[in-house]
Amino acid sequence: MEGTNSVEDTNPVEGTNSVGPNALVSIIMPVYNQWAYTKECLAAIHRYTPENHEVIVVNNGSTDETLVSLQNLPMVKRLDNDHNEGFPKACNQGMAMARGDTLVILNNDVVVSHNWLKNLLHCLYADDRHGAVGPVTNWVSGGQCRAQPYDTLERFHSFAEQYNHTDSTRWDYALRLVGFCLVLRKSVYEQVGGFDEQFGRGNFEDDDYCLRVRRAGYKLVVAGDTYVHHHGSITNRADVGFAQLLQGNQARFVHKWGVNPWYSVFTREDLADLVPPVKRVLDVGCACGGLGLTLKNRGVAEVAGIELDPAAAVDARTVLDDVWVGDASSLSLPRPPGWYEALVFADVLEHMVDPLAALVHLLTYLKPGGVVVASIPNVGHISVLQGLLNGTWTYQSAGVLDRTHLRFFTLVEMQRLLNEAGLTLEFVGMVQDVTPEQEQFLTFLSTAVESQHLDSQGPSLPDRCRTVQYYLRARKAFAAVKGEVPVG
């Protein structure tokens, strides 16, 4: 998620809490079996970490050779649990033992390389607002994932030697950091506390922790100038109950915070790509602020949001410039007419009782010539047509027939909505998703339609039926509106 606007460009606060060059760093590694990966991880730390550090391994009741092997490594501090206490508790035990001013939570299936810790420490202490940072890697969910341009660990280290050079233009602010390699100030840990142990063996404890760090007033930073290798959830992949664990911990997170840790933090680079270079954007239905944060990382100076869900709005306020809670179709904003250069509706219009009225109302705040960017599900998708032919219209927890949708659109009706609001459509993009069986049915359906000489508007019938979602960009007329302010 590299952007044109570096973290250092956003009014940094000079680091008054920076640590000295010889300050101790505590590397905390919970382990449960998988000694071969632990051994590899420890070897990489030893080889590529010249900084002053201690390694604390919390052995979570391993039944392989882990315990015996660790006993032969006197330079490693060790805590042995009788059984698997889970990742969150093991991290807490390790942090309680730590003597360093900086804490590193490190999975045992991570391989570090050249300059890894030097770069991460530089990022963490470059600004007093930076509470936690994380590197990029080959295997992880979310914005820290990058392509893997190597096929062996030897080639990884050669790649990292060229890649891992401090460059603040490759830092981005984030809503979340994944706990495979999480670097934080000891002072942040002392203020926020440890990981929430209700998440048991793990998953979503890092989402929870990152949310708490942001709500304490700190920033999370993805250090895009630092690449580590991640074998990828080795312990969890060996757990036959992993899927059930994931589902249960997601429910715990929702119960605790009132927001979905997946749906509400989407960064939506796809929609951000459609927003032209501007200075002020209003994100309608901003959720927890993921899309707005993406825009800010790309150089947008001011991003404000409107959100109906108060719980999500609390989170969004940690990353956006302003967030207002209420019904977007009637909410009066403390901004003059024409203030914003772009309005964004990311899967929002279909949730509104009267999307036309909402558009017309909010266009007051859009400057002449400004753009509206929207993503809208396509009710003409083949899955919906098949359901109708089978006599069904079954609502689902997500997708085109999401049970929270109030309005349904084909491309023609989307165009009509924008035109009636006074906008001129200038771009249509399609997200297509079909199964082989649906593609086969489409071939039959297309033949039947052609034989009836039915009128087809816009894209071909197969393209329309393959499309699960449309991206649209429309422009407001340049006619002057009294009281609207120019963007300087």
Strand-by-strand arrangement of the 280-284 sheet: 322-325, 302-307, 280-284, 340-346, 366-377, 467-476, 423-432
Mean pLDDT value across residues 108-137:
98
Q: Does pLDDT of 483 surpass 60?
A: no
Q: Does pLDDT of 488 surpass 70?
A: no
CATH number of 7-257: 3.90.550.10
Q: What is the pLDDT of residue 455?
A: 60
Distance (Å, rounded) from C-alpha 89 to C-alpha 102?
A: 19
Confidence of residue 93 (pLDDT cuts 50, 70, 90): very high
Instruction: Annotate 281-302 with three-state secondary structure.
Output: EEEECCCCCHHHHHHHHCCCCE
Distance (Å, rounded) from C-alpha 95 to C-alpha 194?
A: 8
Q: What percentage of residues in the chain have a pLDDT greater than 70?
A: 91
| CATH topology identical between 7-257 and 264-476 | no
Tokens of 369: 């010539």
Of 108, 106, 101, 126, give the one whose Cα is nearest residue 116. 106
Q: What is the pLDDT of residue 2?
A: 37
CATH number of 264-476: 3.40.50.150
Beta bridge pairs of residue 173: 221
- One-letter identity of residue 168: S
Only one residue has tokens 């009014």, namely: 11
Domain boundaries, the chain: 7-257, 264-476
Q: What percentage of residues in the chain have a pLDDT greater than 90?
A: 82
Distance (Å, rounded) from C-alpha 100 to C-alpha 52?
A: 9
Confidence of residue 16 (pLDDT cuts 50, 70, 90): very low
Beta carbons within 8 Å of 136's beta carbon, 6+ residues apart: 144, 145, 146, 222, 223, 224, 226, 227, 228
Task: Please answer whether residues 383 and 438 qualify as being in contact, where contact means their C-beta atoms are separated by less than 8 angstroms.
Answer: yes
Q: What is the pLDDT of residue 454?
A: 66
Task: For residue 239, give Cα distances in angstroms to 39, 235, 367, 379, 454.
Answer: 21, 7, 54, 39, 54
Beta carbons within 8 Å of 87's beta carbon, 6+ residues apart: 30, 179, 195, 199, 201, 202, 205
Q: What is the pLDDT of residue 236?
A: 56
Mean pLDDT value across residues 323-329:
96
Distance (Å, rounded) from C-alpha 6 to C-alpha 25?
A: 26
Mean pLDDT value across residues 287-312:
96
Distance (Å, rounded) from C-alpha 420 to C-alpha 433?
A: 29
Q: Determine which of 119-133, 137-151, 161-175, 253-267 has the lowest per-residue pLDDT on average.
A: 253-267
Mean pLDDT value across residues 358-379:
98
Structure confidence by residue, pLDDT tens digits, 163-199: 999 999 999 999 999 999 999 999 999 999 999 999 9
- One-letter identity of residue 224: G
**Backbone φ/ψ region at 250: left (φ over 0), alpha (ψ -120 to 50), beta:** alpha
Structure confidence by residue, pLDDT tens digits, 429-447: 999 999 999 999 999 888 8
Q: What is the pLDDT of residue 18?
A: 57
